[in-house]
Amino acid sequence: MSATRAALPPKEQLDEQGGRPVDRRHGSTLLRHLAVVLAAGLLLVAVSYSVEPFRNFQLATVAAYLCATAGLTVLTGLNGQLSLGHGALMATGAYTVALCQTAFADRGMTGGWLLPLSLAAAIVSTVAVGAVVGVAAARLRGPYLAGVTLAVAVVVPALAVTFDGVFNGEQGLSVPVEPPPLSLGPYFPYERWQLWVTGAATLLALLLLANLIRSRYGRTFRAVRDDEVAARLAGIHVARTQVLAFVVSAATAGLGGALLAVLAQSVSPGAFSLTLSLFLLMAVVIGGLGRLTGALWGAVLLVALPDLTHSVTEMLTLSPAVAQRLEGNLPLAIFGLTLIVVMIAAPGGVQGLLSRLGRALLARRPTRRS
């Protein structure tokens, strides 16, 4: 066995028990991802001290949306499944965290462990919904798959209105959230604490997704996306892989919805309409499908778009009724126009364009002569 191990490359030496190749790069990839997450966390803390409270709230909202866009880019970009119902999955997580926090408050329970427990419950409930939808989606292709997820996007918010005794109808539910810990000081800004909480949850989700993408599960996702017949011949269970991808994406969408509910301290059906599902899909396409950095660009666009539309309507001299109607429809028009421009100029999205520019700059760098 020692002679065999010596004959193999260091990254593909045989495991002494199973006799299978061991990829030594997995450990180094995990360490690299941990280093990136820690650096991003330190940067986030530093930025939270240097910007005003409203910007902290905006960054926290970007982090919440990033959970949803990252999961959707794994589902659509890596596994090839089109979903128009991620807004409904976010609503599932949001209502779950609202019900849990309200139940804790009614019982007079306090403690820093309650919010993580509510977030975990939101993930579990969304995973259950995602598993049911994923099993149905694994049997469908093309427009039929899009139709099923579209129905989910319409039905789930409608349930909140139908069962108004539990979900309080259109008014929605409040989300009681405890103030920052006293150890941070009596005057610690609440928006900074929100950014820390959402940033920590999002960075943990991104760390898990990044390692999943680089693992054998990520390779099976891409194999099923590229050619289902070839993947099946290679021994991959296609339906099981598609359900797994949907469940992972649903978990991150539920976490994103729960974080949004915590930030707004309320949840209502209007916040998770079909428009949100369309925005999420367009955001990941514009940012760059199949790349977590592309999901980041998409999340930034989701937060920046309302401010942009408000600024545009303020620049125009319009009556209040026309301005309100324009502000309600302008985001979708801007998203659609941006999507057309990106698909023509940069089919790989914003991240793909930046990657091409980076490679072009490196190619133009003069090489040293020996």
Say how many CA atoms lie within 13 Å of 359 toward its Cβ. 5
Residues contacting residue 336 through CB under 8 Å, at least 6 positions apart: 282
The single-letter code of the amino acid at 293 is: T
Q: Closest Cα to residue 90, out of 266, 369, 277?
A: 277
In angstroms, the CA 120 to CA 131 distance is 16
Residue 367 has a pLDDT of 57
CA dist., res. 296 & res. 65, Å (int): 9
pTM of structure: 0.86
- Taking the chain (370 residues) in runs of 10, the rounded mean pLDDT of each run is 40 42 64 92 94 93 95 92 90 95 87 90 95 85 81 87 86 90 87 94 95 92 91 91 94 96 92 89 88 91 80 68 67 78 82 83 67
pLDDT value for 317: 66
Domain ranges in the chain?
A: 28-273
The per-residue pLDDT for 360 is 81
User: Which pLDDT score is estimated for 3?
Assistant: 41
